[in-house]
Amino acid sequence: SKIYLDQNRYMEAVTEIKNVIEADPKDFGAYQNLGVAYYQMKDFKNAAQYFEKAVQLQKDARIYKFLGFSYYNLGNFADAIDNYKKSIKLETAKDPKEQEIESLGDTYFNLAVAYNDNALFDQAAEAFQEAFKIDPKNSNAAVGQAQAIESATNSHMEKASSYLLNN
């Protein structure tokens, strides 16, 4: 299955990985790889299903991150946000020397995008800020933060205006 995955022959990999799972239903790596294969084929529903099975066997920051990606691509922002947050919690709980900083920065950035797409602009601004702290060269995080702050301001002003007009 790993050879098929390396060669981007995902359907063949899926067949082999399912054989592994049939032989050992508690094989964390098999569920992870099955999620990856489906993710690469842009079958986000199956990817999420197998990533969920993987984290039931072993809590893993990367799997939660990929669950977030999968749910985001399915348009399920609430589950995307929840899984990004779980990923961040697990990664930041590690000793700083063992943290995967680049992955953590990506997760904060994607969390911010999911918040932004869900009109949670204040939270988006905070998550973009964290992504920028981790990688000060990430101009997308800086621009995202500025846009989220502007959107948050506009949203708060609209709510205040509506409140004043209606009361």
Over range 153-162, report the average pLDDT: 80
Share of the chain above pLDDT 70, in %: 100
DSSP 8-class letter at 99:
-
Rounded Cα gap, residues 29 and 37, in angstroms? 12
User: Confidence band (pLDDT; 50, 70, 90) for 6?
Assistant: very high
Q: Which residue shows structure tokens 């101009």? A: 139
